[in-house]
Structure 1
Amino acid sequence: MSSVGKAVASFVTVAAILARATAYGVRAAMTKRAVERLEKRYHDRADSAKYMSDAMTKLTVDVPTTSAYMEVFTLSEAMATDVAGIVGRADSLQANAQGLSQATEAEHGRMRDANRTHSVQMAQASFIQPR
């Protein structure tokens, strides 16, 4: 491969690394938002089940039915608590991904910039071929 080809391949590789690091951060943020929505849904389901249980108790509906709604409330709250732990981990994931992106940019961004702005004339392919 000529030095021009190697330089282009190096540029593409560095650009791909930087793009992937950025994309990873974006995907981590999207994952966090999705998990936060899931937590909210479990809380909403729990609130709904609690409302139904309380309403049925006031209307003197049978105990097994009101107890079943209360159990749905309890389980939904437990799931929301579990998902809240995942939200915390997703937050860490997002922070780590952002740090990874910044570290990658700091470490490899200068190579991308050097490839874009260099003024050195590249050697002829025949000059650098192995003999």
Structure 2
Amino acid sequence: MSATNSVGAIVTYASVLARGAAYSIRAANTRRAVERMQSRFQERADSARYLAEAMTVLHVDEPTTTAYMEVATLSDAMAANVAGIVSASDSLSTVAQGLDSETKAQHGRMADANRTHSVQMADREFIKRS
């Protein structure tokens, strides 16, 4: 095996390992972003509910207080929907971490074997698919 082919194989393994780690990092970042979104929807729901209750005490017209309460109800529903996304992103994060671990376990061994082997590797033309 020539030095160029060996380096090419190692770079390929390195890129596979890097991609596995990158998926894990992206999944964690996505989860944090979705959690922030859930928090914002919940804050908006609480704020709209507070305003609707305050307007009721101040005898503001019913359509206005009702509209604010609807905003609170819809924001609560959106926060609950986002909670489902947070749960799914937990699963995604777990799967991505498993992908990273499995990639390292499978391809890391191949990269190590490629670097330390004493057997001449087959020429790429020989193993090329027809």
Q: How many residues align?
A: 124
Cα offset, 1:120, TM superposition: 4.0
Unaligned 5+ runs, structure 1:
none
RMSD over equivalenced CA pairs, Å: 2.1
Q: Which residue of 2 aligns with 1:98?
A: 97
Q: Which residue of 2 aligns with 1:22?
A: 21
Report the 3-state secondary structure (helix = DSSP H, G, I; strand = E; otherwise coil) of the residue aligned with 1:61: coil
Q: Give the alignment's TM-score, normalised by structure 1.
A: 0.86
What does the per-residue CA deviation read over 1:105-125, in whole Å, with 9 as the maximum and x for residues that have no partner?
000111222344x274979xx
User: What is the alpha-carbon distance in structure 2 between the residues aligned to residue 119 and residue 42 of structure 1?
Assistant: 57
Indicate the percent of aligned positions where both proteins have the same amino acid: 55
User: What is the alpha-carbon distance in structure 2 between the residues aligned to residue 46 and residue 89 of structure 1?
Assistant: 23
Q: Which residue of 2 aligns with 1:7?
A: 6
What does the per-residue CA deviation read over 1:22-68, in whole Å, with 9 as the maximum and x for residues that have no partner?
00100010001000000000000000000000100111111111100
Cα offset, 1:92, TM superposition: 0.5
Q: Give the alignment's TM-score, normalised by structure 2.
A: 0.87
Unaligned 5+ runs, structure 2:
126-130
Cα offset, 1:5, TM superposition: 1.6
Q: Which residue of 1 aligns with 2:80?
A: 81
